[in-house]
């Protein structure tokens, strides 16, 4: 069984990727809907929340953990890996690798869209630089994107979504980067809007790349993945609202599998 956690509903993009790539894998998902967003918090608070989330995952018996939250992956993944006894993976390294490979085939320009904390950490830049120099990297904090997704404002014709996306992307629209990393699990839900302003750019879904990486590591290992394809969902606030959003992310009803957990107990 694999645990997937995020600050809210955005990590369901990772669950959707599991549905396509490793459907037999058993998944426990936690969305910290009471404390979303993580991206505006300090590193100390992000780390505190991440450890609470992981302790809950472990109490559910998971054998590996995917930190589907870009903010956690950028700020405290190493601390989680060092402290926990199960494998922990994040979203930064796989997305950075994919973006570098994509940019190398074109104009060698990469844009990173992330939360304020993710951009402040410089994690994507450091990871991309490991593959070599000569690539221009432009990082843009897009703090309103999480709120747009959490409130369902994601349609290609949504006026508010278009205003926010157009304003944030203004510095890179003339450049048309080869690759644009959607460095928060919420951001892929805005892909249609983002693509309107960057039609020539490859949009890199960080959570999907992370799931691909994890699948290559665990493969068909039943001792880690399980084999029933079970999905259990937990949230720290508003299970009904989460279930409603979950239908948009996953394409089916999950209301009978969403439960509340008091994350402060962990």
Please enumerate, as own/partner, the contacts of 242-250 that have beta carbons within 8 Å and a separation of 24 or more: 242/9, 242/31, 242/33, 245/9, 245/12, 245/150, 245/152, 246/9, 246/12, 248/152, 248/154, 248/189, 249/9, 249/12, 249/13, 249/15, 249/16, 249/189, 250/12, 250/15, 250/16, 250/19
212-221 burial, b at 16+ Cβ within 10 Å, e below that, comes to ebbbeebeee
User: Which residue is catalytic, options 25, 54, 142, 184?
Assistant: 184
| DSSP secondary structure code for residue 171 in this structure | T
Q: Is 25 a catalytic residue?
A: no
Q: Is 225 a catalytic residue?
A: no
121 to 85, 101, 184, 190, 228: CA distances (angstroms):
25, 22, 13, 23, 38
**Dist. CA 230–CA 226, nearest whole Å:** 9
User: Which residue is catalytic, options 25, 54, 69, 142?
Assistant: 69
Catalytically active residues are 69, 184
């Amino acid at each position: 069984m694999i645990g997937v956690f995020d600050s809210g509903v955005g990590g369901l993009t990772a669950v959707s990727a599991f549905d396509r790539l490793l459907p037999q894998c058993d998944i426990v998902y936690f969305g910290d809907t009471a404390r979303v967003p993580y991206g505006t918090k300090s590193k100390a608070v992000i780390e505190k929340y991440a450890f609470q989330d992981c302790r809950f995952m472990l109490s559910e018996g998971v054998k590996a953990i995917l930190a589907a939250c870009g903010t956690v992956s950028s700020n405290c993944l190493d601390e989680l890996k060092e402290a926990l006894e199960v494998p922990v993976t994040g979203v930064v390294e796989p997305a950075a690798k994919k973006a570098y490979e994509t940019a190398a085939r074109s104009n060698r320009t990469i844009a990173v869209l992330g939360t304020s904390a993710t951009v402040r950490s410089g994690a994507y830049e450091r990871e991309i630089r490991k593959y070599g120099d000569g690539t221009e990297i432009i990082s843009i904090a897009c703090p309103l994107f999480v709120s747009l997704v959490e409130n369902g404002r994601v349609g290609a014709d949504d006026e508010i979504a278009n205003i926010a996306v157009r304003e944030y992307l203004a510095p890179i629209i003339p450049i048309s980067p080869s690759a644009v990393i959607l460095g928060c699990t919420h951001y892929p839900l805005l892909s249609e809007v983002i693509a309107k302003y960057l039609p020539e750019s490859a949009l890199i879904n960080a959570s999907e790349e992370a799931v691909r990486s994890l699948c290559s590591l665990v493969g068909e290992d039943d001792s880690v993945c399980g084999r029933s394809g079970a999905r259990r969902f937990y949230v720290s606030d508003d299970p009904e609202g989460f279930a409603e959003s979950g239908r948009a992310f996953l394409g089916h009803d999950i209301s009978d599998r969403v439960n509340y957990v008091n994350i402060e107990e962990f």
